[in-house]
Amino acid sequence: MSLASVRASVRWWCHDPAVYAFTDADIDRFLALEAVPDDVGYHPKSPNWTPTYDVLKAAGRAWLWLAGLTANSPLMYKVGDVQVQVNNKYCLERARDLMGSSCATTTRRDEPWPEHFRERYLDGRPRDES
């Protein structure tokens, strides 16, 4: 997945351009805070690390940022005849929901993921190799 695709995923989860249009720099800042070890096990500070991010937690950070914007006054926008209000409580709930989930996305596509890697992370435990 390219970095642009990762950014698009974060935007899809966290943003409505009518409320606030996040820039690439904003998204990159949220992604940097949610960098995770890659599928080989390299830590984000390692020179061999393949950029891998927890997209849902990065989107949750974006919602926390929006919660800060709406702390004193809600953001309001109109779509057709419908007026929508995004308040602090909604932003915090959305952040909590997303940050309680987990979805690591790597920007590297040249290595296929082995089947046992998927099984290990779907149920949260290492796969029994016996």
Of 117, 116, 95, the C-alpha closest to 106 is: 117
Residue 117 reports pLDDT greater than 50: no
Please give the pLDDT value at position 123: 47
Of 29, 25, 34, the C-alpha closest to 53 is: 34
**CA 25 → CA 7, 28, 62, distances in Å?**
10, 5, 12
Query: Does residue 82 come out as left (phi exceeding 0), alpha (psi in the -120 to 50 range) or beta?
Result: beta
Please give the pLDDT value at position 103: 60
Higher pLDDT, 18 or 44: 44
Residue 25 reports pLDDT greater than 70: yes
Query: Any idea which residue has 């929006």 for tokens?
Result: 66
Query: Any idea which residue has 């995923």 for tokens?
Result: 9
- Residue type at 119? E
Provide mean pLDDT across the span 100-109: 59
Provide mean pLDDT across the span 56-77: 84
Give the tokens for residue 9: 């995923």
Provide mean pLDDT across the span 8-35: 82
